[in-house]
Amino acid sequence: MKQSVKNTGLFPRNFFYRTSAMNMNWVLKKGSLLLWCLTIILGLFSIQFAHAQQIDILIKGGHVIDPKNEIDSRMDVAIADGKILRVAENIPDGEAGRVVDATGFYVTPGLIDMHTHLFYGTKEVGFRGFEITNSYGSVQPDAFSFRTGVTTMVDAGSSGWRDFHTFRKQTVENSRTRVLAFLSIAGHGMLGSVHAQYVQDMDPEATAFIISQNRDVLVGIKKHHYRGPDFRPVERAVEAGKLADVPVMVDFGGHDPPLSLEKLLMEKLRPGDILTHTHFGSSQRQGAIDENGSLRPFILEAQERGIIFDVGHGAGGFQWDQVIPGSQQGFWPNTISTDLYRLSMNAGMKDLSNVMSKFLTLGMSLQDVIERTTWKPAQVIKREELGHLSEGAEADVTVFKLREGEFGFLDARGNRVNGNRKLEAELTIRAGRVVWDLNGISAPAWEGDF
């Protein structure tokens, strides 16, 4: 049925006729206006979209090593809003606020140093102590982290359940470096050797409770410097580790006569627990290498069962007569760390990139060295959001130069090994912010006279 258009009075009688018969010029005019409006809307949308994708820093042309994501090639790294935006080949630099030419450099996740001492303060220890807890034997994190490519430092038991709150307020909350910590099983942390013997103050429940209240910072438990003829501090640390579901890190040093390293690694510790000062051996501490230069038979078995061997170089925990025979017999540490404190940094240890260079010198690949200072420690401390350059991860990035030349590397006994490659931190970025730039590669060049 044909419907007629009823005149409602709103339009002139011949409106619909006139509309259908309007001239082409009018249609074209209105059509192009519509097109124009659409273009503006689409334009605004794409500006909005582009704004959301704005790159703050673009690191171009470097060789990226990101073991978690199995990247080992030339890539660009785009950073936006403090996070990794993208890692890909040839990211256009048009939208980048700052472009860093990383040609000839290595680009890695920010390093994690799993053994440091950061509870600095001015408290005098009232007896011959170690001056590590709230005292001058520890170091300020920011003073030593970024310049060596480190963005996360893990304090190894400088505080215990009695004084963690001071460490947290004084150091952790005042550092740009991400500071995490193992809590000492000793109530007062590393206040001195007397406290390290005071087993009654090693309280698994109090230790686990403090960890449960501070999981954003605390990642494990540390046992250290006990000289007694038994495993009680290790047992208490493991008990606390079970209660809090965190790993235990053991400094096994100084028992006379020495305790059984095999018993520690094969019976007392759980898979995922850590032996630090791996390359240390003395009359009071069995080394991984015996008196004849042979790797003890249970070491590889312990590593197989999940025990983590951490370097913890320190001022006394790294000997070429342990490291070299170990590497020659197929034994390499799982994580590379410094045991940074006042004495180690001014002796053979120096800093993390120096310790990494020692392993390069012994034949460990650069990829393995980077993995042992990024993704591996992140896994050991159960912080898998760290140690890689995945999209969306906090942008902690290090740019290294691998220098070639003649270098000397000291162990903790003062013996030198010569090498010809050395890592040097060129640029360090923490949460998307440049915190170390050795030669100003991220800065605009001065164009005036000088």
Contacting residues toward Zn ion, per CB under 5 A: 156, 339
Can you give the three-state secondary structure of 303-356, one letter per residue? Answer: HHCCCEEECCCCCCCECHHHHHHHHHCCCCCCECCCCECHHHHCCCCCCHHHHH
Please identify, using beta-carbon distances, which residue of 99 and 347 lies nearer to Zn ion: 347
Shorter beta-carbon distance to Zn ion: residue 106 or 167: 167
Q: Can you read off the two tokens belonging to residue 294?
A: 């042979």
Residue 291 DSSP one-character state? T
Q: Are strands 150-160 and 111-116 parallel, antiparallel or unpaired?
A: parallel
Q: Backbone phi, then psi, for 177, in 5-degree steps?
A: -65, 140
CB of 119 to Zn ion, least distance (A): 11
CB of 341 to Zn ion, least distance (A): 7
CA distance 311 to 326: 12
Q: What is the DSSP letter of 387?
A: S
Shortest Cβ 252–Zn ion spacing (Å)? 12
Residue closer to Zn ion (CB basis): 339 or 411: 339
For Zn ion, which is the closer residue by CB, 114 or 393?
Answer: 114
Q: Least distance (Å) from Zn ion to the CB of residue 439?
A: 32
Contact call for residues 54 and 80 (beta carbons, < 8 A): yes
Q: How many helices (H) and strands (E) does the chain have?
A: 14, 15
How far apart, in Å, do the first and last CA atoms of the chain sit? Answer: 91
Nearest approach, Cβ of residue 386 and Zn ion (Å): 21
Sheet with 248-250, edge to edge strand ranges:
111-116, 150-160, 178-184, 218-223, 248-250, 274-275, 308-309
The two structure tokens encoding residue 440: 């100003």
Q: Which residue's beta carbon is nearest to the bound Zn ion?
A: 339
Q: Give CA–CA dist 151/201, Å, rounded.
A: 33
Closest to Zn ion by CB, 108 or 116: 116
Chain centroid offset of residue 117 CA: 15
Q: How far is the CB of 114 from Zn ion (least distance, A)?
A: 11
- Closer residue to Zn ion (CB): 74 or 342: 342
Tally the C-alpha atoms within 13 A of residue 114's C-alpha that lie toward its C-beta.
Answer: 37
**Nearer to Zn ion (CB atom), residue 77 or residue 311:** 311
- Distance between CA atoms of 367 and 136, rounded to whole angstroms? 35
CB of 224 to Zn ion, least distance (A): 7
Our CB check for Zn ion shows the closer of 156 and 423 to be 156
User: Smallest gap, in angstroms, from Cβ of residue 316 to Zn ion?
Assistant: 10
Min dist. Cβ of residue 157 to Zn ion (A): 7
Which residue, 158 or 357, has its beta carbon nearer to Zn ion?
A: 158
Do 6 and 15 meet the contact criterion of CB atoms below 8 Å apart?
Answer: no
